[in-house]
Every structure is written in C-alpha cells, then in structure tokens.
Amino acid sequence: MKLTLKIWRQKNANTKGRFETYQAEASPDMSFLEMLDVLNEDLISQKQEPVAFEHDCREGICGTCNMVINGEPHGPMQGTTTCQLHMRHFNDGDTIVIEPFRASAFPVIKDLAIDRDSFDRIIQAGGYVSINTGQAQDGNAIPIEKETAAEAFDAASCIGCGACVAACPNASAMLFVSAKVSHLAHMPQGKVEAKRRAQAMVNQMDEEGFGRCSNITACEAECPKEISVEHIARLNREYLSSSVGSQVKA
C-alpha cells in the first residue's frame, strides 16, 4: 500500500518545527512503527536524518512509544499503543498526519520524541507504599477481595505513556495521577497513606504545569489501556476528603 505521511519535524526544543511530507510503502501486516522503520531506512540511504521517534518493547507495555496519528494519541484503534497498531487498519492511498504529544509539561526533544520526566516526578512525590525491603508480612496475611484486586489491577495497568495528557484539550494529567492513587488506595497496603499520597501527587501535578481536568473524558477514550475516569472520581474523593479532613496537616 502507498501512503502519504505528513510528519512533524523539529530539530530540538528551541527551534520551530514544521510538517514534512513523505511518500511511503507499507504492507498491511506491518506495525505502524515498522512502517516508520522502513521510511527511516530509506532516509538514511539518502543520507538524510531519520525521523526521531521513541519506542522500545513494541509489545504495548513499556509506554515509550507515543505520537499522535491523525489527531489521536496512538492512532485510531482503541485500546492500542502505536507499536501495536497495524497498517491493515489503514487504506491504500491514505494521508497520515503524525505529530508529537503536545503539552507544556512534555517538551519536544526532537521530531516526535518528547520529555516525560514530569510523570516520574509525580510518582516520586508519593506514588508508592512507604515500606522498606524486608519489612513485609506474609503475602496471605491480609485477604483481599478478588474484585478489589481486579479493580486495583485495572488502574495499575497504566503504562505511563502520557496519551491521556496528549488527548486532553486541557493537557491534564488526572487520569495518570488517578490511576496510581486509585490503584494503591484500593489495596489495604496502600490505603494507609492514601490521603497523604493524593495530596502530594496532585500538588506535584499542579507544579509540573498540567491543566485542570474538566471531565471531558478524552483521556479514557484514547488511553491504550482503557483506564476509566472512575479513577479520577476516586482521586477527587481522596483529595477532597484529605483536604477538608483532619488526617493531613494544614
């Protein structure tokens, strides 16, 4: 199949970017990234700079790959990362527009590669259970309802790719933050410091310059792991109760 690609090229964070148009050949069994690999091989053979894009596991789990394809983070297939998107979902002759995730808290490094350190700093602010190695009791000491564990898992399946931010017209990171807050608040081990965690992570999120959630739910619609905005409600609950409650100090 023949494709026209309009790809955002930007030398680095300080230069202006623009769209470049390329013609590409693909087979329907290729993944989207393999299609870009072929384009890059082609560019290299013409001694041109390949398109910089980040990727790693190519199994949809590491969260490295990003890019907005035809206006949607990770492209048109729901519940699918870019690396798992296959060309059979496109048609011969299609024009595909490829852009980086756009948000102030995700500055562009080069072309489609972006910097997502802000997510790490949010986790560092409190996205953990405060125990040291060796302090654990037996794994079966606290029974956990099967459904509760499953719900916690749903939230914990977040891959930290940032598609929620990219999809959100407000560039809000609420789905990411809420997934971690909700995962840990579901588990008895994480419940203990749930309030403090919600406060700390939201504060950090605000400091990083993410936008305010207005419940547009584009994040859920575009999340490659289909994480629900129910978790955002849970975060709101934890945050509200910790703000007006007495556990977290004034």
> Where in 155-174 is the site for other proteins (CB under 8 A)?
156-157, 159-160, 167, 169-172, 174
Residue 176 within binding range of other proteins, rule CB under 8 A: no
**123-162: which residues touch other proteins (CB under 8 A)?**
123-140, 143-146, 149-150, 152-153, 156-157, 159-160
Residue 20 within binding range of other proteins, rule CB under 8 A: no
**Among 15, 23, 88, 247, which residue sits at the site for other proteins (rule: CB under 8 A)?**
88
Residue 124's identity, in one-letter code, is Q
Question: What is the β-pairing status of strands 113-114 and 68-69?
Answer: unpaired
Smaller CB separation from other proteins, 72 or 93: 72
Question: How many chain residues bind other proteins (CB under 8 A)?
Answer: 131
Do 115 and 107 touch, CB atoms closer than 8 A? yes
Residue 119 within binding range of other proteins, rule CB under 8 A: yes
Kindly state the tokens that stand for 165: 């931010």
Burial of 139 (C-beta count, 10 Å sphere; 0-12/13-18/19+): exposed
**63-82: which residues touch other proteins (CB under 8 A)?**
63-64, 68, 70-72, 77, 79-80
Do 114 and 101 touch, CB atoms closer than 8 A? yes
**Among 15, 21, 27, 91, which residue sits at the site for other proteins (rule: CB under 8 A)?**
27
